[in-house]
Chains A and B, each alone.
Chain A
C-alpha cells in the first residue's frame, strides 16, 4: 500500500478508520488473545457465518459471506486486531443480537427464517446508525457496526468475494485511464 492508497483507504472505510486500528491513538488496552481463543467456539463461528450471510447473502451472481468463511475471519480479526474493550463489545453483541431476535420474533436468531433474520438486521443496522449519529468522541463502538464492517471487509477481500462478486485481475499488464463503463459491470477488486 502506498501513501495515496493509505489516505483513500482511511477515509473511505465507513467514513472512519478500521475498528482496532485507531487503538494506538487512544492508548487502549491491547486485546486478550487467550480469552478470545476460549470464547470463539464452533457454535459462535456458525452463528457469525449466518449473521454474515444475512448481511451479504448468496445471490444468482455470486456466493454469500458464509462461503467466504466470514465467521472465521471475524474470529481472527477480533482476536488479533481488536482492543480488549472492543473485544468485549463484540462478544456481548452476540448475546444482544440474540436478545433482539427474541424481543422481536420470540426466538433465537438461529431459529428464525431468512426473511425474519433480514428484518431483524435491518432494524439493528438502523439502531447502529442512529447510535453513531449521536455518538461523541470516546463513546464505545456499536456491536452491529463491527459485525457489518467485518462482514463487508472480510467478504470483498476474500477469494470468493474478490473473484466472483468483484473482478480481480492479478496482473492487469496495462493501464487505461478512461474507458467506457456499462451498468452491471462489476467493480475491480482491491
Chain B
C-alpha cells in the first residue's frame, strides 16, 4: 500500500486544482492529483488547434447526432465539433433538474481551464462586505487586504493582461500590458465617461493572456482559437502553467480516469485519511492516503463528494453539520444586453484576432446610486466590423454581391450583462438516489432559480445597455433579454460556503472544512457571495493562500 501514500491529495485538475498541486509540490510535499477524465497533454493533444476553418467537416457547426447526444450542452454555444471531447458527456454523466439548470462540465486533465473565457478580475471590499451590510446570508470571513497579496502572487504567475484603471471597487493588479481597444471602442468609452461624468467606465477586459513573454510561456499570438488548446501557451491553463510547474518539482503524480467517490474519514481523530477512487476505465476501486486533501473537483462536484463522505457520522455527509452543505448555489445571470451599428469609421480596421473585449465594471448601488434591487452587474462586449454575413442592400447575388462581401462592413457594437445572483439557502443541490450515472453512482439534483432581486436587476441590465450605447452614438440600438437560466454563466459558485461560524458555514476562512480541518475546498464551492466579476482569479488566490496555511498548520502539527 506504500505506493498509495502521499503527503497531499488534490481532487481535480482544473484552474484551482492545478494551483493546489503546484503550490503543494513547490513546498516539498509529495502530491497525487486525481482527475476523473482523460489526460490531455499540452500541445500534443491539441489536435484541432492548427486546423483552418475548412478542415472541420461541418465548419465547427453541430450535427443532429451531436444535438441528440448532448441534451444539455446543446442549449448554448459550447456544443461544437471543434472541441467536443473536452465537454463532459451528458449521457454518461446525467443529473436531475428540479428546475432547469444548464450545467456545462469539462471532465479531463485541465478541466475547464482549457475552455474558460479567461476574464480575470479581483473582488473588492464592496463585495466582501456586502452580505454583512445588507444582512444577506452570512458575512465573508475575509476582507480585501487579506487576499490582496495573494491576488498579486497568482497574477504574477498566471499572466494577467490589463490596464491600471484606478477603479476602487475593481482593484488594479500585477498586470501584463493591456490589449488594445478598437477605434470605435475608444470613442464609445470616452463618450460614456463624459455622459456619466466619470461614474461609469468602459475598459479593456483583464484577461489571462501573455501579452508579453513570461517564463515558460510564449506570447499570445492573437489567433483566438483558445478553446482548442493553445500550442503557444498564450493563455493560462493547467497545461500551460501550473502543471509544468508542479511536474518540475518531481513531487507530482497525475492520475487521470480517477473518479473520487468519497473522502475517507477517521471519526476519532476527526481528520480525513485519504480518498476512495473508482477507476473510470476499469471500474476498480483504489484507496489513496494523505494527511492533506484539497477538493477542487469543481463547484457541485466537490459538494457531491462531501455528501458521499463520512455518512456514518453525518447522514448528509462531511461538512453537513451546519445544514448549509449543498445550499446557496449561485451563478452569474446573463443573456441580456444591447447592440447596434456605428456610423463612420470606414477608414479604420484592426489586425489580429483579439481574444478579449471591453468591460464595464459595476456602477449600480455604489457612489450614492440606489436601485430597487441590491448588488449589481458588469458588461462585456466589443465593437468590430461586419464580415461576409453583412446585408448588402444593392446586390442580392452575383459578382458585385461577392465583391461587396469580401470587404469589411459596418462597425457594430454590442454588450451583455453579467449579474450577481444572491446566495439563497433554497437554491441548492442534493443527491438523487433514484438516478445513477454510467458508473452506478448517484447523481446530483439541482434546484435553483432567479428570484425577484435578479429579475429586477435584469430590467436595468437591458435598459442601461440601450441607454449607454445610444448616448455614445451607436445607431438603431436594440436591447435583448434572452435566456437567464442559471448555469449558463458557467460560473457555478457556493454549496460549501466559507464563514465565521461552524453553525452557519461549511468552511472556515482558510477554506478548511470545519468538521475535518485537513480537508480544504478551494474551487468555486467556497464562495460566500458571487459578486458580478468572473470568479476564476479569486479561486486561484484563495487556493494559493489555503495551501500556504495548510503547510504551515501541518508543520505545527495542527492537521
A interface residues, Cβ below 8 angstroms from B = 1-8, 11-15, 18, 20-21, 23-24, 30-31, 54-57, 59, 61-62, 64, 76-77, 80-83, 118, 121-122, 125-126, 129, 148, 152-154, 156-159, 162, 165-166, 168-190
Q: Is there contact, CB below 8 Å, between B385 and A5? A: no
- Residues of chain B within 8 A of A180, CB atoms compared: 347-349
Bound-state CA distance A186–B407 (Å) is 5
Q: Is there contact, CB below 8 Å, between A162 and B406? A: no
Q: Is there contact, CB below 8 Å, between B354 and A177? A: yes
B382 within 8 A of A: yes
Q: Is there contact, CB below 8 Å, between B58 and A81? A: yes
Q: What residue in chain A is nearest B357 (Cβ atoms)?
A: A4
B129 within 8 A of A: no
The 10 lowest CB-CB distance pairs between A and B, nearest first, are A177-B180, A6-B77, A175-B352, A181-B349, A172-B352, A30-B64, A178-B183, A187-B408, A80-B63, A125-B396
Q: Is there contact, CB below 8 Å, between B397 and A54? A: yes
Q: Is there contact, CB below 8 Å, between B389 and A14? A: yes
Q: Is there contact, CB below 8 Å, between B64 and A31? A: yes
Q: Is there contact, CB below 8 Å, between B59 and A157? A: yes
User: A8 with B384: in contact, given A1-B77, A2-B226, A180-B348 (CB under 8 Å)?
Assistant: yes
- Residues of chain A within 8 A of B222, CB atoms compared: 172-175
- Residues of chain B within 8 A of A80, CB atoms compared: 57-58, 63-65
Bound-state CA distance A80–B407 (Å) is 31
Q: Is there contact, CB below 8 Å, between B388 and A152? A: yes
- Give me 13 A-to-B residue pairs in the complex whose CB atoms sit less than 8 angstroms apart, sorted by A's number: A1-B77, A2-B227, A4-B380, A15-B391, A55-B397, A55-B398, A56-B397, A80-B65, A121-B396, A125-B396, A153-B59, A159-B54, A173-B352
- Residues of chain B within 8 A of A1, CB atoms compared: 60, 77, 80, 82, 227
Q: Is there contact, CB below 8 Å, between B117 and A3? A: yes
- Residues of chain B within 8 A of A57, CB atoms compared: 398-399, 402
Q: Is there contact, CB below 8 Å, between A13 and B389? A: yes
B323 within 8 A of A: no
Bound-state CA distance A174–B222 (Å) is 6
| Interface hit among B67-75, B306-314, B520-528 | B67-75
User: A23 with B389: in contact, given A54-B398, A122-B397, A178-B350 (CB under 8 Å)?
Assistant: no
Residue in A118, A125, A177, A187 whose CB lies within 8 Å of B183:
A177
Bound-state CA distance A171–B219 (Å) is 12
B52 within 8 A of A: yes
A133 CB to nearest B CB, Å: 14
A13 CB to nearest B CB, Å: 5
User: A166 with B406: in contact, given A77-B61, A175-B354 (CB under 8 Å)?
Assistant: yes
Q: Is there contact, CB below 8 Å, between B53 and A157? A: yes
B134 within 8 A of A: no
Bound-state CA distance A6–B74 (Å) is 13
B63 CB to nearest A CB, Å: 4
User: A5 with B224: in contact, given A76-B57, A187-B406 (CB under 8 Å)?
Assistant: yes
Q: Is there contact, CB below 8 Å, between B351 and A154? A: no
Q: Is there contact, CB below 8 Å, between B397 and A118? A: yes
Residue in B82, B221, B354, B406 whose CB lies within 8 Å of A61:
B406
Other 9 A-B pairs with CB < 8 A, given A162-B54, A179-B349? A1-B80, A1-B82, A23-B67, A83-B64, A122-B397, A122-B398, A158-B54, A179-B348, A187-B408
Q: What residue in chain A is nearest B390 (Cβ atoms)?
A: A12
B189 CB to nearest A CB, Å: 12
Q: Is there contact, CB below 8 Å, between B399 and A185? A: no
Q: Is there contact, CB below 8 Å, between A187 and B407? A: yes
- Residues of chain A within 8 A of B380, CB atoms compared: 4
B206 CB to nearest A CB, Å: 15
- Residues of chain B within 8 A of A55, CB atoms compared: 397-398, 401
A23 CB to nearest B CB, Å: 6
Q: Is there contact, CB below 8 Å, between B53 and A190? A: yes
B329 CB to nearest A CB, Å: 21
B173 within 8 A of A: no
Q: Is there contact, CB below 8 Å, between A168 and B52? A: yes
Interface positions, chain B 356-397, Cβ under 8 Å from A, are 357, 380-382, 384-391, 396-397
